[in-house]
Structure 1
Amino acid sequence: MTSSGLRRLRALKTPAGIQRFLDELPYNLSYTARSPKKVLDDRTASCLEGGIFAAAALRVIGFPPLIFDLEAEQDTDHVVAIFKVRGHWGAVAKSNFTGCRYREPVYRSLRELAMSYFNIYFNLRGERTLRRYSRPVNLARFDHLHWMTTEKPIWFIAEYLCEIPHISLLTPAMERNLTRVDRRTLRGEMVGHRKK
């Protein structure tokens, strides 16, 4: 990371500051995997790119660069940067949906944190789609691949997330009995949704 890039990340100061920065970026609808440096340069991020960017920014302000993966069925997964304050988990995320972004550090476990996304995690048919979550992944494991600064796509992180075990959130009986999201919730979650 260049010294100016590091200064820009340090200026975000807190997890909430990182979230504000991500919220100001247009949502990237392209099929890309930009590094945090490229997110800074291009001023856009997808869910994957935003989660990884947030982990890099968290690292710069003193947290470990942790992410976890929320795995869905009939929908896309969601990659979230996670952090711990006084023994409680919080999250920073980029999403095209209103409620799939920041979480205050008030969750006692990763399961609690994952479940905080459940009710507002749905596809455009209104089906509730969140099913599993991964263990935390420390992105320092990819330092030798220069994940924070490379000009090349960082698909290797997404591929790793697909390979690791995930923990189920629901029983099969729960899955069978899920209701669809009502129109009001659907409209509320689509505020600011980018289509093109």
Structure 2
Amino acid sequence: MKPRSPILFAQKMGLTLRQAKLLVSLKTPRKIQDYLVFFPQNFEPEGDTARSVKSALSAHSAQCIEGAMIAAMALWLQGHPPLLIDLCAHQDMDHVIAPFKQNGKWGAISKTNYTCLRWRDPVYRSIRELVMSYFHEFARGPRKSLRSYSAPYDLRKFPSKLWVDNPKNCWELTSHISSIKHYEIIDESLAKKLRPRDAVEIKTDQLNVFPIPRWKKRRL
């Protein structure tokens, strides 16, 4: 259900008036995604972060889970449940998306600096179908790495002070999402039989929205 006064609701959750107005102005899931595409990438120069909605907006940068939390908050202000799905990878970085439902079909908002793991139009009949749309492109080098996914987690169940306006990193939330039920996609015996990505596919990894700093490339 959409809050009666979305701006006041967002402020009550801990956002500034300016931040509240910004998120309320993103009136559709597509507009949320359009905003996040060119929202500066958080390359985490001082180490891993999981900044709250307020902190990421204040810093004017975000990585995947930070972008997903911003998206979930904006969706909540539109009347959608604020959901997150954890896409769990093997020997690769996990990815978090903000799913939403329109006309009975699932789509997803995603913050990423790469050509893969991006927005999904609401055309998928189930969460599994939505998640499987990421399988082929979720990879590290030649190896496809997606192994499992979480059930959608409703952030209304989690204290807002721990993800909306938390001044510290939201490690409690990241730990919780990692610990909830995940559904296996493939096991390692099947993973060994997957066809590796070819050179053309691997080359797409070099396409980025924001240039990756040299120091960051050395860490990847």
1:68 aligned residue: 85
Instruction: Output aligned runs, 1:41-120, within 5 Å.
Output: 41-120=58-137
2:218 aligned residue: none
Residues 158 and 177 of structure 1, relative CA distance in 2, 3 Å threshold: same
Do 1:70 and 1:130's aligned partners in 2 also have CA atoms closer than 8 Å?
yes
Q: Distance in 2 between matches of 1:191 and 1:13?
A: 29
Question: Deviation of residue 164 (structure 1)?
Answer: 1.1
Q: Distance in 2 between matches of 1:114 and 1:132?
A: 9
Question: Deviation of residue 66 (structure 1)?
Answer: 0.3
1:174 to 175, 185, 190: 190
1:133 aligned residue: 149
Do 1:132 and 1:168's aligned partners in 2 also have CA atoms closer than 8 Å?
yes
**What value does the CA root-mean-square deviation take over the aligned residues?**
1.5
Question: Deviation of residue 42 (structure 1)?
Answer: 1.1
Q: Distance in 2 between matches of 1:96 and 1:182?
A: 21
| Number of corresponding residues | 195
Q: Distance in 2 between matches of 1:147 and 1:80?
A: 15
Counterpart residue type for residue 99 of structure 1: C
Q: Distance in 1 between matches of 2:125 and 2:174?
A: 26
Counterpart residue type for residue 120 of structure 2: R
Q: Distance in 2 between matches of 1:190 and 1:53?
A: 26
- Verify: 1:3 aligned to 2:17, yes or no: yes
Q: Distance in 2 between matches of 1:73 and 1:12?
A: 34
Give the TM-score normalised by structure 1.
Answer: 0.93
Do 1:90 and 1:105's aligned partners in 2 also have CA atoms closer than 8 Å?
yes
Do 2:162 and 2:172's aligned partners in 1 also have CA atoms closer than 8 Å?
no
Q: State the SS of the aligned residue for 1:68.
A: strand
Q: Which runs of 5 or more structure 2 residues have no equivalent in the other structure?
A: 1-14, 214-220
Question: Deviation of residue 119 (structure 1)?
Answer: 0.8
Do 1:6 and 1:60's aligned partners in 2 also have CA atoms closer than 8 Å?
no
Do 1:89 and 1:113's aligned partners in 2 also have CA atoms closer than 8 Å?
yes
2:37 to 23, 48, 53: 23
1:121 aligned residue: 138
Cα deviation, 1:9-53, whole Å, max 9, x if unaligned, reads 011111111111111122212111111111211111111111111
Runs of 4+ in 1 over 6 A off after TM superposition: none
Counterpart residue type for residue 87 of structure 1: G
Do 2:162 and 2:173's aligned partners in 1 also have CA atoms closer than 8 Å?
no
Q: Which runs of 5 or more structure 1 residues have no equivalent in the other structure?
A: none
Q: Distance in 1 between matches of 2:18 and 2:152?
A: 29
Q: State the SS of the aligned residue for 1:120.
A: coil
Question: Deviation of residue 165 (structure 1)?
Answer: 1.8
